[in-house]
Structure 1
């Protein structure tokens, strides 16, 4: 696929090349979405654990993702993004088996929660290979000048799956309990694997020497730190929005995350090209303010629809913060190192969610669930400062 985005034909070709990759990522993440609104409820209502334990089990996925990102990026650079996606789907099916095993331990809550912790960890490694491989696959087909669009659109497939998975998961949980979620987590990745294998892959990048780990890390770390601070809002929605709704008797409990994800999806489909056109840091500077405003609205909400509007506003804001900063992270790197770059960049997301989720659980336990959203709104301030600095640096390099 040509890297140029100067003509409408090139833009159409880029979009067509991304669609099958988006389909694979969508199907792979649908199984993750199924558990989002119900795993905290299962841990709290069925096993009797409090907010800190919920945050700990939820966060195990992100810690495992953190530990596997660099390996996933190196694998995608060396063997190709499609193969990385395949590895991720196999691991996801294994996580489903572990979920099923946790059900045999319901009379021993600690053992059952430990199995769920392990299953979430395996799923975290699977997610790492699926999304890192999917982005590397898309970058290999679409070219570096479309990096913002690739990150935004592949991420859109992920969030679409999470948004659709939330109500489906709630329905499955109502009909068959957590056993239905566990079975689906085993079956869906196997079906996705069969559909992915015939897809056209892309050869691993050649011709340009791959840069060292340290040189890639030097290019990525500052956008990554900003992404980490801005991603805490995503973690708050993911882990505690359903609990906030359940605590206040608001229904349905999956609605804030679905509003968040739906807003993010629409924004990325409509405006995903903006980081490539206007500059990733410049776009991130604007949208992180929108994200913070939405999180503050959830904190202040006295009725469910106000919280839902806040979640949607937060999703709109985050929609282009992450791809905008990601475009900055890979903009000066050769194609042979972009998989590693995206793996390293996503490590900062994992750090924020893996360690931020338990920390936010402590905030919820000590101050109340609503104060979680005040804390993550405040965390957007350093993200804004870093994005502003990166934007000014990029403008200065262009002589603007």
Structure 2
């Protein structure tokens, strides 16, 4: 974490509290991760929920996150990111506390919705705030490295949740999930109030879904389906093939994802997001398609790594495209809308993959590969006026 912050913060204006925002997002998403880890067993054992209801309790928060991002971005564009980040932290805290009092499934779902909405607002306003003062020549690296705050939080959260439950109770997990957003709020409360003041103008029409986000957002929906496929079917695919090391499959994917994101984000600035993202789509499609054909452990692991590498670079590329094209006064809303595309594709990947899974669990990977190739079409076929830098037009 320290190396990531030191490398990237130099490219962000000193008025932007990069380290505090990175830490706040890490804490917020760690809170989500720790609840996800223990939620299925809690819903089954304590609330008597069935498989469908327990699954809904796990995933319902992501829908709140998806719907919240554009709204949070619009509020950040209007009033500045600081207040929205702090409000997101408070929502996350309330969501965590809601788990403490949840004795029925509807109350638990309400808590999950609050937690998901809070973290959506937290990240969307934070990334908009960070990019407000970032140097244009370094945006890809800034976006890519800052996004690791979310991914490392989601990776660390389940480990923390399992560890807390092993030495305590579900109540202990919910308390920790409430405390992390409080700490995030305290970090941002210490920042300067004027640090994230939005540009002043009475003539700009701030859209909830800015035009600059339409094409990149559509691409993100298709491309992110691959992540939903990997999350739902990677381990079952290894199991059906009777491959050794199936317990390491998701770990290999996650490590490749984060290492590629850290090392490769600078290439977006060097070569341009449009060039890099076309390569990214091909790499993702090759990895997912390879998992359809894989029959040996080494080939399956290699393709898993390829899929992780491709998926890791989606956000730096797409966020750079949006940041370049959007009016600065709609930037956070546009980023929120594009990130919601990821949420939508992720949510769709699992169920759609299930329709073609069959007995081999190979079909979902073919579906993901085709979706990755289709993701290139909106960017390739879109009229130039939809993806040109809008703020440079007279």
Normalising by the smaller structure, the TM-score range is: 0.7 to 0.9
Q: 2:124 aligns with which of 128, 132, 151?
A: 132
User: CA 1:355/1:332 → structure 2, altered by over 3 Å: closer, same or farther?
Assistant: same
2:12 counterpart residue number: 14
1:229 counterpart residue number: 222
2:143 counterpart residue number: 151
Query: Residue 273 of structure 1: SS of its match in structure 2?
Result: helix
2:324 counterpart residue number: 331
**In 1, Cα distance between equivalents of 2:247 and 2:203:** 43
Q: Deviation at 1:100?
A: 2.8
Preserved contact between residue 225 and residue 349 of structure 2 (Cα < 8 Å): yes
Cα deviation 1:296-327 (Å, max 9, x = unaligned): 45555668886665444322111212221221
Q: Deviation at 1:134?
A: 1.0
Q: Deviation at 1:224?
A: 0.6
Q: Deviation at 1:230?
A: 1.0
1:276 counterpart residue number: 269
Cα deviation 1:62-91 (Å, max 9, x = unaligned): 321232222201111122222221111111
**In 2, Cα distance between equivalents of 1:258 and 1:181:** 23
Preserved contact between residue 38 and residue 169 of structure 1 (Cα < 8 Å): yes
Using the TM superposition, name which of 229-238 and 120-129 deviates more: 229-238
Aligned residues: 379
> Which ranges in structure 2 are unaligned for 5 or more consecutive residues?
1-6, 390-394
Q: Deviation at 1:138?
A: 0.2
Query: Residue 133 of structure 1: SS of its match in structure 2?
Result: helix
1:314 counterpart residue number: 307
Within a 5 Å distance, the mapping from 1:2-81 to structure 2 comes to 12-14=10-12, 18-40=18-40, 49-50=50-51, 56-81=56-81
Asked if residue 198 in structure 1 is aligned to residue 190 in structure 2, the reply is yes
Within a 5 Å distance, the mapping from 1:1-400 to structure 2 comes to 12-14=10-12, 18-40=18-40, 49-50=50-51, 56-102=56-102, 104-105=103-104, 111=105, 114-176=106-168, 178-200=170-192, 202-207=195-200, 211-213=204-206, 217-239=210-232, 255-299=248-292, 310-360=303-353, 371-389=363-381
After TM superposition, the score normalised by the length of structure 2 is 0.80
**In 2, Cα distance between equivalents of 1:295 and 1:174:** 35
**In 2, Cα distance between equivalents of 1:362 and 1:100:** 36
Q: Deviation at 1:342?
A: 1.0
User: CA 1:37/1:230 → structure 2, altered by over 3 Å: closer, same or farther?
Assistant: farther
> Which ranges in structure 1 are unaligned for 5 or more consecutive residues?
1-8, 106-110
Query: Residue 196 of structure 2: SS of its match in structure 1?
Result: coil
Q: Deviation at 1:261?
A: 3.2
After TM superposition, the score normalised by the length of structure 1 is 0.78
**In 2, Cα distance between equivalents of 1:44 and 1:367:** 27
Q: Cα RMSD (Å) of the superposition?
A: 3.9
User: CA 1:144/1:121 → structure 2, altered by over 3 Å: closer, same or farther?
Assistant: farther
Q: Deviation at 1:43?
A: 5.4
Q: Deviation at 1:135?
A: 0.5
**In 1, Cα distance between equivalents of 2:312 and 2:383:** 18
Preserved contact between residue 59 and residue 357 of structure 1 (Cα < 8 Å): no
